[in-house]
A and B are shown apart, each in its own frame.
Chain A
Amino acid sequence: MATQRNTNLVAIVDDDDLVRSALQGLLKSVGLPAQTFASSEEFLKSGQQHHAGCLIADIRMPGISGLELQAKLNADRCRIPTIFITAHGDEKMRMQALRAGAVEFLAKPFDDEALLESVRAALES
């Protein structure tokens, strides 16, 4: 299905409210609009997976986890460039995410410059 993506909008899915606000604040400081979601379910329900230019998602979340969300989006043929951030990134999980098409996999606390670089690259892809 051909959909119109807002190439600038970044969707943030994380169950931690502080991390959500921090990410949104960081993106705002470089002029990027962001919409936040407290769970994968909320994000899927919003329909933004078809419009946002890039997705930043936590891995470990109650309900649908980050990796499950990625699998779901892939199954729906929804090609949104995805960046994972997690506090517990082991190599196995990282490989699984990258193999499933994630553009980046960053460990918390992450380097803000590295994250912004990945977001910019994702938005341009």
Chain B
Amino acid sequence: MKGDEDTLLRSAALENAKSILAARQRAEQRSEAYLAEAQRLSHTGSFGWRVSTGEIILSEETFRIFQYDRMTKPTVELVLQRVHPEDLALVQQTIERAARDGKNFEHEYRLVMPDGSVKYVHVVARASRDESGSIEFVGAVMDITERKRAEMLLGGEKRLLEMIARGDSRVAVLDALCRLVETLASGSLCSILLLDQNTNCLRHGAAPSLPVAYADAIDGIAIGPSVGSCGTAAYRAERVTVCDIAADPLWADYRDLALAHGLQACWSVPILSSAGSVLGTFATYYREPRSPTHYEHHVIERITHLASIAIEGERAEEALRQAQGEIARVSRVTTMGELTASVAHEVNQPIAAAITDANTCLRWLAGDTPNLEEARAAAMRVVTDSRRAAEIISRIRLLFKKGVPERELVDVNEVIREMIILLRNEAAQFSISMSADLAADCPQVMADRVQLQQVLMNLMINGLDAMKDLSGTRELVLKSQKADDAQVQVSIRDTGVGLPPQQAHQVFNAFFTTKPHGTGMGLRISRSIVESHGGRLWAGDNSPRGACFCFTLPTQADAQAQE
């Protein structure tokens, strides 16, 4: 009886122990699964290394980071095979010293994967000794590629924005843009082509790593619907990704050229201005057929944006430089030299803003934690400032254009708005406000634009002169409206001293003037210009104070009927 009970108890105890063991095993398995998942999520693998036997044990995640087959038996030699050639000597040294001294170690290095891509890893290992005194390391391997790349992209963008803000040459900036992408996307060869808007051809911008003969051969190609990746991207104004040049029909005419230089893939992105027009293309070539990864897309997009800031800024500056020379010339040769100070002021405003914005950009980039978003915003403002200056100049240039009168369809409202901008400063100097009341349905007139500007400028300056020395309200109002008989009527009202009493009709006579330094020719010339266009110019009083000058011009339909 006793024996049976014992047997029963023993078997119950055994069962109990078994189930406890099974539960513990399940718990251990679960815990291992959790650990493996955690390693995968944090891109951190673990390893063990017994130096005396050379035995190395890797966790699943470490196998994944190094991209070893699970069946491989890891060795130190195998690890070293993966190390980037430039980092190899240092890694070797660290491992040898650790094996010799048995001390903790920590290092960072690059791996080259079988597909040629580069990974960054951070390794930490702690040393211990077993009962027999032999050295054993336990450590962690972190895949820090994403963090490293993000740091490199930000650092590169910062350097480039600094170059742009400093006003480094375009060649240097574009070259640096290409090199940055080549560093971030290993194996890539980058090129920037610039669109010549007059000829619709792509010209060499930068290509630091492409074979020179290839870069020369594509310099000057005309854009079109199937001209490789870049010619097509510029033509369509959209991204063109050719993963295999040998097979893509877009490359039919250039395939042999590219393949002869070992180029097998080419992704091209158009560089767009802030207004959306194509400035050029950014191309990424590879020596094997390839499609871009999400990360590569991202890098190229960011860098293309920087390229557009650099190119646009430089173009605006170039226009500005030319225009500044033009102003000097214009002020010498025209009788409107008196306006030069005002014009200079108009140009000076955006230049002052550009200088301040460029300095602000550098401020955001300086310091321990540069603010790239703010720096980029400031750089964009520099572009806007420069463009404004260039626009003002091009308007002035048009105004002083010499040559025979040319009749064309002109939007009177547009000319009025331009003249207001041009004379804004002249008016502000005497605290005179200018406003326009323009009819939206004003038809176009057939006129010589420059002569029309001359008439408006004459009448506006007369109005401003009449108010300069008065106190009280100082207002110049320009109005356009559709008049009877297919005419457009423009009026310029001021609140100045008004016309000399009883002499309103005389103001148009040659040499009639009330100004101390006037020639007495302005109104006379204006009237003959208006009349040569088939219109009329007259003067009257403004209520309650000042004068009003009006002129009419025949609209397009009427002007054609007269011819």
Chain B 380-413 interface mask (CB, 8 Å, partner A; 1/0): 0100110010000000000000000000000000
Shortest CB-to-CB span from B494 to chain A, Å, is 14
Tell me whether A21 and B428 are in contact (CB under 8 A): no
Interface of chain A, helix or strand or loop or mixed? Answer: loop
Chain B residues, CB < 8 A from A16: 349-350, 353
Tell me whether A22 and B432 are in contact (CB under 8 A): no
Tell me whether B359 and A26 are in contact (CB under 8 A): yes
Tell me whether A18 and B384 are in contact (CB under 8 A): yes
Is residue B377 contacting chain A, with contact meaning CB distance below 8 A?
A: yes
Is residue A88 contacting chain B, with contact meaning CB distance below 8 A?
A: yes
Q: Which residue of B lies closest to A18 (CB)?
A: B353
Chain A residues, CB < 8 A from B357: 21-22, 25-26
Is residue B274 contacting chain A, with contact meaning CB distance below 8 A?
A: no
Q: How far is the CA of A65 from the CA of B350 in the complex (A)?
A: 20
Tell me whether B431 and A62 are in contact (CB under 8 A): yes
Q: How far is the CA of A82 from the CA of B424 in the complex (A)?
A: 25
Shortest CB-to-CB span from B469 to chain A, Å, is 15
Which among B349, B356, B381, B424 is the interface contact of A87 at CB below 8 angstroms?
Answer: B349
Is residue A112 contacting chain B, with contact meaning CB distance below 8 A?
A: yes
Chain B residues, CB < 8 A from A64: 431
Which among B352, B356, B378, B429 is the interface contact of A60 at CB below 8 angstroms?
Answer: B429
Chain B residues, CB < 8 A from A1: none
Chain B residues, CB < 8 A from A18: 349-350, 353, 381, 384-385, 388
Chain B 326-367 interface mask (CB, 8 Å, partner A; 1/0): 000000000000000100010011111111110110011000
Q: How far is the CA of A80 from the CA of B425 in the complex (A)?
A: 27
Q: How far is the CA of A25 from the CA of B355 in the complex (A)?
A: 12
Q: Which residue of A lies closest to B365 (CB)?
A: A29
Which among B341, B381, B388, B434 is the interface contact of A88 at CB below 8 angstroms?
Answer: B341
Chain B residues, CB < 8 A from A19: 349, 352-353, 356
Q: Which of B417-454 contact A (CB under 8 A)?
A: 424-425, 427-429, 431-434
Shortest CB-to-CB span from A53 to chain B, Å, is 20
Shortest CB-to-CB span from A12 to chain B, Å, is 12
Tell me whether A108 and B360 are in contact (CB under 8 A): no
Is residue A15 contacting chain B, with contact meaning CB distance below 8 A?
A: yes
Q: How far is the CA of A109 from the CA of B82 in the complex (A)?
A: 57
Tell me whether A62 and B433 are in contact (CB under 8 A): yes
Q: How far is the CA of A65 from the CA of B431 in the complex (A)?
A: 6
Is residue B374 contacting chain A, with contact meaning CB distance below 8 A?
A: yes
Tell me whether A21 and B381 are in contact (CB under 8 A): yes
Chain A residues, CB < 8 A from B427: 62
Which among A25, A28, A65, A109 is the interface contact of B352 at CB below 8 angstroms?
Answer: A109
Tell me whether B388 and A112 are in contact (CB under 8 A): no
Q: Which of A14-43 contact B (CB under 8 A)?
A: 15-16, 18-19, 21-23, 25-26, 28-30
Q: How far is the CA of A25 from the CA of B364 in the complex (A)?
A: 10
Shortest CB-to-CB span from B161 to chain A, Å, is 14
Shortest CB-to-CB span from A69 to chain B, Å, is 11
Assuming the A-B contacts A15-B428, A18-B388, A88-B341, are A108 and B433 also in contact, with contact meaning beta carbons closer than 8 angstroms in the complex? no
Tell me whether B434 and A108 are in contact (CB under 8 A): no
Tell me whether A62 and B353 are in contact (CB under 8 A): no
Tell me whether B432 and A62 are in contact (CB under 8 A): yes
Shortest CB-to-CB span from B369 to chain A, Å, is 13
Q: How far is the CA of A25 from the CA of B382 in the complex (A)?
A: 11
Q: How far is the CA of A87 from the CA of B349 in the complex (A)?
A: 8
Chain A residues, CB < 8 A from B349: 16, 18-19, 87, 108
Chain A residues, CB < 8 A from B351: 109
Shortest CB-to-CB span from A51 to chain B, Å, is 25
Tell me whether A60 and B425 are in contact (CB under 8 A): yes
Q: How far is the CA of A110 from the CA of B360 in the complex (A)?
A: 13
Which among B374, B385, B431 is the interface contact of A28 at CB below 8 angstroms?
Answer: B374
Q: How far is the CA of A112 from the CA of B356 in the complex (A)?
A: 6
Is residue A61 contacting chain B, with contact meaning CB distance below 8 A?
A: yes
Tell me whether A63 and B431 are in contact (CB under 8 A): yes
Q: How far is the CA of A64 from the CA of B432 in the complex (A)?
A: 9
Is residue A68 contacting chain B, with contact meaning CB distance below 8 A?
A: yes
Q: Which of A49-73 contact B (CB under 8 A)?
A: 60-65, 68
Shortest CB-to-CB span from A93 to chain B, Å, is 11
Which among B363, B381, B425, B434 is the interface contact of A22 at CB below 8 angstroms?
Answer: B381
Q: Which of B476-527 contact A (CB under 8 A)?
A: none
Q: How far is the CA of A14 from the CA of B445 in the complex (A)?
A: 36
Q: How far is the CA of A21 from the CA of B558 in the complex (A)?
A: 46
Q: How far is the CA of A15 from the CA of B336 in the complex (A)?
A: 25
Q: Which residue of A lies closest to B350 (CB)?
A: A18
Chain A residues, CB < 8 A from B345: 60, 87-88
Tell me whether A29 and B363 are in contact (CB under 8 A): yes
Assuming the A-B contacts A22-B381, A25-B381, A62-B433, are A109 and B363 also in contact, with contact meaning beta carbons closer than 8 angstroms in the complex? no
Chain B residues, CB < 8 A from A60: 345, 425, 428-429
- 28 sample A-B contacts, Cβ–Cβ < 8 Å, listed by A number: A16-B349, A18-B353, A19-B352, A21-B381, A22-B354, A22-B360, A22-B381, A23-B356, A25-B377, A26-B359, A28-B360, A28-B374, A60-B428, A60-B429, A62-B431, A62-B432, A62-B433, A62-B434, A63-B431, A63-B433, A65-B428, A87-B345, A87-B352, A88-B429, A109-B348, A112-B356, A112-B359, A112-B363
Q: Beyond A22-B356, A60-B345, A109-B355: 7 further Cβ-contacts under 8 Å?
A: A19-B349, A19-B353, A22-B352, A22-B360, A62-B431, A108-B349, A112-B355
6 closest A-B pairs by CB: A109-B352, A18-B353, A22-B353, A108-B352, A22-B356, A29-B363
Residues of B within 8 A of A (CB): 341, 345, 348-357, 359-360, 363-364, 374, 377-378, 381, 384-385, 388, 424-425, 427-429, 431-434
